[in-house]
Homo-oligomer: A and B are copies of this chain.
Amino acid sequence: MTQKKLRLGAFMRPVSIHTAAWRYPGGTPDANFNLKALVQYAQTLERGKFDAFFMADHLAVLNMPMDALKRSATVTSFDPLTLLPALAMATKHLGLIATASSTFEPAYTIARRFASLDHISEGRAGWNLVTTSNPDAALNFGLDDQMPHAERYARAREFFDVVTGLWDSWADDAFIRDVENGIYFDPARLHVLDHKGKYLKVRGPLNIARPVQGWPVIVQAGASDAGRQLAAETAEMVFAAGGPIADARAFYADVKGRAAKVGRNPDHIKILPGAFVVVGDSLDEAKEKRARLDGLVNYDSSIAAVSMALGVDARKFDPDKPLPDDIPETEASKSGRDRVIQLGKRENLTVRQIAGRLGGYGGLGMLGTPAMIADQMEEWLVTEACDGFNVMFPYLPGGLDDFVDKVVPELQRRGLFRTEYEGTTLRENLGLPRPENRFFAEKARAAE
């Protein structure tokens, strides 16, 4: 049996998720605004044989108090669906995953823009379907408050059906371009969707040919019950939360099980937790980098995250001492409290250091030499905690270069990661099948 291989996405926000990345020595303070820098990152990722550049997104500026907001480098960014066509021109193999909301945009333009990106990139587009939980975003789109959670997910399910239905408007062989007789397409190979559902009414057909990949790759990040179910029914890549490896294994088994239950092949839904990776030539060097980075997080902003997790006002603690032992349990925050207390004890951190960790990036982290990081990734892969990772880099370009130049070769040496792209499309590289056109599948099958 061939060894199972890691899939690696690069989770770009559009650069680092760490709130102090822009302040790190050698970092790129204006990276979110800097097309040349983003092109360079994409090309480095391609050199490292990454599956995809995965562009997160949010749709509002005012999502935290101004005193914290003014310190944020991710308060603005290029629109993903506008940036990725530009990156497509600077790369040849790298997948290009854009985040787009099913709550605020018309299904027709979402379908057309992803189809366009897929054609322009010759089959490298992916759609991270989000329902946008941020209530501040709703205010930018004519609403007074966010749509309720259950409604957002019900709408997302219908939205997915409409978008994929529009992608299937034209059979792959619809455009005959018969110059002699002046016939451009075969009307029998065109389907009018005529969707009338609970949330959406869309006639179709879509005014662009079927995407190169049939459909762009569908990505989701839902963690709630409704989110997992939506992913199991529709997603081909899941951005998972990470967390302790045991939790990740349970999540992996749950989502793959749900996919099987609805009749899908569980191999066709790839689970990729986010992993914040800091590479050093020694463990100490990696630790020192992470501490330096976390130390650049503003204390006033980050201590609020500690207070929230603990359920008490953490500003009263001495920043340069460990957490006191007598922090009371509260009803609201048991798991958060335990997690923070354990983190402080395990790594022997001061309150300030804990604040930097939580305020910088509090999710799954990996840290150490290339071999140590490869060990962790291998363990996650072989014990079915994941199919790969959406890697987050601590600062750019240095943290990205370190991963590509040091970790990737180690993964390749172990046979855990590709040395050449397997195919020409994102689907082919991820090992995902090209979806049949639901309206013209029979003829395609008969012709095989």
A residues adjacent to B (C-beta < 8 A)? 20, 22-23, 29-30, 33, 35, 58-62, 66, 69-73, 75-79, 81-83, 85-86, 88-90, 104-106, 108-109, 112-113, 115-117, 119-120, 136, 139-143, 169-170, 175, 177, 179, 182-187, 190, 192, 200-209, 296, 298
Contacts and interface: CB of A to CB of B under 8 A. Distances in A.
19 contacts: A22-B184, A23-B182, A35-B119, A61-B190, A62-B205, A70-B183, A76-B170, A77-B207, A78-B208, A79-B109, A79-B115, A79-B208, A82-B116, A83-B120, A86-B120, A89-B89, A104-B109, A108-B140, A143-B201
A33 to B, nearest CB: 6
- List 10 tightest A-B contacts by C-beta distance, closest first: A82-B116, A89-B89, A139-B203, A85-B85, A79-B116, A85-B86, A29-B177, A108-B140, A78-B116, A142-B201
Given A184-B22, A208-B77, A82 B203 contact: no
Contact of A140 (B60, B73, B202): B202
Nearest to A208: B76
A22 B180 CA distance: 11
Q: Of A109, A112, A136, which is in contact with the most chain B CB atoms at under 10 Å from its CB?
A: A109
B179 A141 contact: no
Given A23-B179, A104-B109, A184-B72, A203 B83 contact: no
A249 to B, nearest CB: 36
Given A30-B175, A33-B175, A182-B296, A59 B207 contact: yes
A61 B209 CA distance: 11
Number of copies: 2
A23 B143 CA distance: 49
A186 to B, nearest CB: 7
A305 B82 CA distance: 38
B79 A142 contact: no
A247 B205 CA distance: 38
Nearest to A170: B76
Contacts of A73: 177, 184
Given A22-B177, A70-B183, 7 more contacts: A69-B187, A72-B184, A76-B208, A83-B120, A86-B89, A105-B106, A106-B140
Contacts of A105: 105-106, 109
A166 B192 CA distance: 37
A82 to B, nearest CB: 4
A177 B28 CA distance: 10
A69 B69 CA distance: 52
Contacts of A187: 66, 69-70
B175 A108 contact: no
A83 to B, nearest CB: 6
A182 B298 contact: yes
A207 B78 CA distance: 8
Nearest to A39: B89
